[in-house]
Amino acid sequence: MKIAIVTGASSGIGREFARQIAAWGTLDEIWAVARRENRLQELARTLKIPVKIIPADLTREKGIEMLESLLKQEQPQVKILVNAAGFGKIGDYKNISRLESGKMIRLNCQAPVDVTMLALPYMRKDSHILQICSTAGFQPLPEMSVYAATKAFLLRYSRALRWELMNRGIVVTAVCPYWVRQTEFIQKASTGSHSVRHFPLAGTPEKIVRQALRDSLSGAAVSTPGLVGTAQRILTKLLPEELVIAGWELLRRL
């Protein structure tokens, strides 16, 4: 049985990945992982292939163990893994609690590593791993310090893992979108401190996912859907880091 595993499938980019992958019609099943079971049930009713609903909290060991048990029981061939589960908080150190920071680190860093390690024994040549990072991972971001750091971790992990898996023919792509509208991220990320005033030129889940899948299938190491993300990736390589941070400080106040 050939499957795709999509974490964070209850909303936003994760849900859109499940929809677009299911539309290919080349897989036997989508395994949709998220905390909100009712949202996963709604998703399953809209897809034209079977969906295995896995209501798991990936910040808890019990959620990881649930996925591990299912993989051992069903022995599927994992053709695509999308680690889209994650969240962020906007605000400085006074506005974001220690518990929120810890949860960001567990969900944005530890969870994708755990899920990837569980899936790899079931992946073969021409399988694909898409780690949903962010352009936030290209540079330090005051007022989003922990979130940006978690995405930098995931980006570096993905780039290194890609080399480790080359001899197995498994493609790893770090997907780094800019701001994304029509998702819950911005609303949930806000702490009321108004540290970011506007979110200009934000992309849509549909376009971002379409480009990310296209880039992964072409073997790209990093996907930056949209011109803004691509420009940000280039500029952060060329400009001094302090200048990039100063530019961010200016932009978030506009």
Q: Tell me whether residue 147 is one of the annotated catalytic residues.
A: yes
CA distances from 82 to 8, 76, 114, 240, 241 (A): 9, 16, 13, 33, 30
pTM exceeds 0.85: yes
- Residue among 122, 147, 157, 178 flagged as catalytic: 147
CA angle 168, 171, 174 (to 5 degrees): 140
What are 189-241's pLDDT values in tens digits? 555 555 665 566 678 999 999 999 999 999 999 999 988 889 999 999 999 99
What are 148-187's pLDDT values in tens digits? 999 999 999 999 999 999 999 999 999 999 988 756 565 5
What whole-number distance in Å separates Cα of residue 215 and Cα of residue 218?
5
Domains present along the chain, CATH in parentheses? 2-251 (3.40.50.720)
What are 51-97's pLDDT values in tens digits? 999 999 999 999 999 999 999 999 999 999 999 999 998 888 888 99
What whole-number distance in Å separates Cα of residue 1 and Cα of residue 3?
6
Residue 116 near residue 83 (C-beta atoms within 8 A) = yes
